[in-house]
Amino acid sequence: MMARLQIGLAASVGLAITLLAGCSARLPGQPTEAERWRAPNEITDFNQLYTQNCAGCHGAGGRLGAARSLNDPLYLAFVTDDALRQAISKGRTGTNMPAFSEQAGGHLTDQQIELIVNGMRAHWSKSDDFKGVELPRYSVDASSTATNNDIATKALQAGAASRGGATYKTYCSSCHGSNGDGGSAGSIVEPNFLNLVSDQGLRTTVVVGRADIGKPDWRGNVPGHPMSAQEINDVVAWLAAHRKTTTVAVSKVEHSACLNMK
């Protein structure tokens, strides 16, 4: 009896020692390096940075968010690194894209912004898919990426806007309605909407589309007939021209609110 007890004891001690020391398996409670707390400006993991800073609007995993899908190889082939860097650090004035760099009041360091840009490229780019495809240029001119509604851009667009109407009817009216104010995809000439998006944002959407929600890119609006560079410029100018009616619509909102208060 005693001997059997001793053997059993020795065996269980041996087993415990093997389990604790010899076994390379990690116990589930052991903290991992990933769980280690880091100050927000020391986070260098792309997934963590994206999830904490971008996923709210651009969607988990860069898809199906309210804002532009970033997990989109076509978009990543279309946009330049510099434009991405600018958009993240300084935001897009007049739109819902806020500035994230520390200098602009956000809390990302320049290095972290660089990590996000590189991370999007590394995780979501498929540049091979667009070899030999002639992509439209990212921007019409440098100034139009920086500001919305600026005078120079408007002057440039004045002529284009008159041609844009016809281009719209050809390429966009099947989803957005004959005048742009309805259809299955909803109005895109709604002044309040246009006041919340930049011209570059419109251009990007016209060219790249939203593959994640089924909006075609510049090649797919009319199958087999991609939009030309001129047509893209024109339709963006035509859309931008609809912003002018803003004040009327807004006063109605305020008016109705006042009515309700009384």
Per-residue burial over 207-240, b = 16 or more CB atoms within 10 Å of its CB, e = otherwise: bbbbbbeebebbeebeeeebbeeebbbbbbbbbb
Q: Is 128 in the site for another protein (CB under 8 A)?
A: no
CB of 193 to another protein, least distance (A): 4
CB of 31 to another protein, least distance (A): 5
Q: Residue 137: beta bridge partners? A: none
Which of 11, 60, 122, 166: binder of another protein (CB under 8 A)? Answer: 60
Yes or no: say if 148 and 95 are a contact pair by the CB < 8 Å rule: yes
Which of 43, 46, 67, 216: binder of another protein (CB under 8 A)? Answer: 67
Nearest to another protein of 77, 164 (CB atom): 164
Q: Is 119 in the site for another protein (CB under 8 A)?
A: no
Q: Is 24 in the site for another protein (CB under 8 A)?
A: no
Q: Residue 108: beta bridge partners? A: 101
Q: Is 34 in the site for another protein (CB under 8 A)?
A: no
Q: Is 66 in the site for another protein (CB under 8 A)?
A: yes
Which of 56, 126, 152, 244: binder of another protein (CB under 8 A)? Answer: 56
**Site for another protein, residues 172 to 191, rule: CB under 8 A:** 182, 185-188, 190-191
Q: Is 65 in the site for another protein (CB under 8 A)?
A: yes
Q: Is 254 in the site for another protein (CB under 8 A)?
A: yes
Q: Is 223 in the site for another protein (CB under 8 A)?
A: no
Which of 196, 225, 228, 229: binder of another protein (CB under 8 A)? Answer: 196
Yes or no: say if 44 and 112 are a contact pair by the CB < 8 Å rule: yes
Nearest to another protein of 174, 187 (CB atom): 187
CB of 85 to another protein, least distance (A): 18
Q: Is 259 in the site for another protein (CB under 8 A)?
A: yes
**Binding residues for another protein (CB under 8 A):** 20, 27-31, 33, 36-37, 39-40, 51-57, 59-60, 64-67, 96-98, 107, 182, 185-188, 190-193, 195-197, 213, 246, 249-250, 252-257, 259-261
